[in-house]
């Protein structure tokens, strides 16, 4: 009996281990760093553009690094393996920066010169993670278009807290989530620092703001939702989602 029980426990452990390995291959951790001060701009383009440097990132557990800007705002999106957290990112980048000066600007970002910000919304989110844990997300599909956008919410602490609350897991209206899928949105996240919100949106590769964006605004309850969240945003309450958010380059 004990032998059979032991065998059953080992089988369950093996299945669980295989499942975790499969999930870790399908998922990655996301860390988003932001600077709202143009004087604190850090150029990490050399690491991104240089193939040798970028390959070193990939060899050491990073999946993707992107930087976007708009006026004085700069946002850096860092994707790493599923078993990474912020401390792991720091350790890897600090070690790489000792080997090559190209990584020194990236080390400054990772070590706190940019703010690591919290995610307040994810399309069909199941669990909540801290910014330092890294947001667990699916690896990006091969063919996609990415849009990173920003807007300012009203400078009121109570409204800001309510804005976070209405974007919590399970709070989004089901029609709104379905609308996103209908127009070809594969995933969407919203991050917040102070009163500045950032939206990261991955879509079908041929997503078009003129046609798909226009269709989006006509879908069920979409106008109602936009009017509802407009009380938090420094925008025209009559605006569609595609008109409210400012694109970052």
User: Tens of pLDDT along 11-45?
Assistant: 444 444 444 444 557 999 999 999 999 999 999 99
Least confident of 11-20, 38-47, 163-172, 185-194: 11-20
Return all residues near 62 (Cβ < 8 A) that are at least 6 apart.
78, 79, 80, 81, 89, 92
CB 29 within 8 A of CB 79: yes
Q: What is the reported pLDDT for 225? A: 93
Q: What is the reported pLDDT for 22? A: 45
* Residue whose C-alpha is closest to residue 135's, from 16, 30, 225: 30
pLDDT of 174 higher than 80: yes
pLDDT of 1 higher than 80: no
Question: How far are the Cα atoms of 14, 18, 74, 98, 180 from residue 10, in angstroms, in the given order?
Answer: 6, 12, 49, 43, 43
- Of the chain, the percentage scoring pLDDT greater than 90 comes to 81
Predicted TM-score of the model (pTM): 0.87
- Look up tokens 């957290």; give the residue: 85
Domains of the chain: 28-116 (3.30.70), 123-130+141-247 (3.30.70.100)
User: Tens of pLDDT along 193-244?
Assistant: 999 999 999 999 999 999 999 999 999 999 999 889 999 998 766 666 667 8
Mean pLDDT of the 153-165 span: 96
- Of the chain, the percentage scoring pLDDT greater than 70 comes to 87
Q: What is the reported pLDDT for 86? A: 98
Mean pLDDT of the 134-158 span: 92
Q: Which residue has the higher pLDDT, 143 or 192?
A: 192
Q: What is the reported pLDDT for 89? A: 98
Strands 185-193 and 118-122: antiparallel
pLDDT of 176 higher than 90: yes
Mean pLDDT of the 61-86 span: 96
> What is the sign of the dihedral through the CA atoms of 230, 70, 111 and 32?
positive
Q: How far is the C-alpha of 106 from the C-alpha of 52, rounded, in Å?
A: 15
Q: What is the reported pLDDT for 10? A: 45
What mean pLDDT value characterizes the chain? 89
């Amino acid at each position: 009996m004990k032998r059979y029980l032991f065998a059953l426990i080992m089988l369950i452990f093996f299945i669980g281990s295989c499942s975790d390995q499969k999930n870790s291959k399908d998922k990655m951790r996301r860390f988003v760093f932001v600077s709202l001060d143009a004087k604190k701009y850090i150029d990490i383009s050399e690491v991104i553009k240089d193939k040798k440097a970028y390959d070193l990132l990939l060899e050491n557990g990073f999946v993707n690094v992107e930087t976007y800007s708009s006026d004085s705002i700069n946002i850096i999106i860092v994707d790493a393996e599923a078993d990474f957290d912020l401390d792991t990112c720091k350790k890897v980048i600090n070690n790489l920066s000792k080997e090559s000066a190209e990584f020194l600007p990236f080390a400054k970002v990772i070590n706190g010169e940019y703010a690591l910000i919290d995610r307040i919304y994810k399309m069909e989110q199941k669990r909540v993670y801290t910014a330092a844990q890294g947001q667990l997300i699916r690896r990006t599909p091969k063919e996609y278009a990415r849009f990173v956008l920003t807007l300012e919410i009203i400078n009121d602490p109570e409204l800001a807290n309510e804005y976070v609350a209405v974007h919590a897991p399970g709070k989004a209206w089901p029609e709104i989530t379905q609308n996103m899928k209908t127009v070809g949105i594969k995933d969407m996240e919203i991050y917040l620092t102070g009163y500045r919100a950032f939206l990261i949106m991955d879509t079908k590769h041929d997503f078009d703001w003129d046609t798909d964006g226009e269709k989006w605004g006509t879908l069920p309850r979409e106008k109602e939702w936009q009017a509802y969240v407009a009380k938090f945003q420094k925008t025209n309450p009559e605006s569609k989602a595609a008109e409210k958010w400012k694109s970052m380059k």
